[in-house]
Amino acid sequence: MEYGEQARRILIELHQQVPLEQMAGLIQHGTTSTYQHCLNVVLLSVLLAERFSIAVDLPTLVQGAMLHDFYCYDWHQPSPDHRWHGFCHPRLALCQALRYLDLEENCRGVILSHMWPLTLFHYPRSREAWLVCLADKYCALAESMKLDDWLRRETQEFGFSALSILRKQA
């Protein structure tokens, strides 16, 4: 994985800028936390870019994938605040991320369009956005069907797990 080491470095830097661990206590699909889900999407989108030799801006891809669900609430809990979760959470994730760092236009688009086609007018407009949109759907399905063991294994192997990233930070 040629992009692996670069992606890991981008993730370490991102952990220093944004409290990503807030996502660790929230369940996304099945028993997978939102944090692990975002790591899975980083891994898969980077793997796809490499496997199919897709020229991407790696910081945009990694940041967009890691922050795409940074909305930080439990969407399983019924609440009038997130009744329209599917439609609204990409914008919320972007707003949350922008509290901690500035993101370039393409990266904002990656986050805003990851739920397409549900978000009809926010469609993927870049290679990075398409990769995250597709990887997110695969990961959501695999996690819901408990077919995500390989993603967990791979994220750990590439030092993408929370523990190894926090250790590297120290």
- Minimum Å gap between C-beta 89 and Fe ion is 6
Task: Compare residues 49 and 110 and give the one whose CB is closer to Fe ion.
Answer: 110
Task: Compare residues 36 and 126 and give the one whose CB is closer to Fe ion.
Answer: 36
Backbone angles phi, psi at 91, to 5 degrees: -70, -40
- Minimum Å gap between C-beta 41 and Fe ion is 6
How many C-beta neighbours within 10 Å does residue 95 have? 12
* 3-class secondary structure per residue, 33-69: EHHHHHHHHHHHHHHHHHHCCCCCCHHHHHHHHHHCC
CB 71 within 8 A of CB 148: no
- Minimum Å gap between C-beta 98 and Fe ion is 17
The tokens for 7 are 């992606």
Q: Which spans of this chain sit near Fe ion (rule: CB under 5 A)?
A: 69, 136
CB 43 within 8 A of CB 158: yes
CB 43 within 8 A of CB 151: yes
CB 15 within 8 A of CB 165: yes
Task: Compare residues 136 and 148 and give the one whose CB is closer to Fe ion.
Answer: 136
Task: Compare residues 5 and 90 and give the one whose CB is closer to Fe ion.
Answer: 90
- Minimum Å gap between C-beta 141 and Fe ion is 11
The tokens for 88 are 């609204």
- Minimum Å gap between C-beta 37 and Fe ion is 6
Beta-bridge partners for 33:
27
Q: For residue 128, give the H/E element and its range.
A: helix 127-144
Task: Compare residues 69 and 128 and give the one whose CB is closer to Fe ion.
Answer: 69
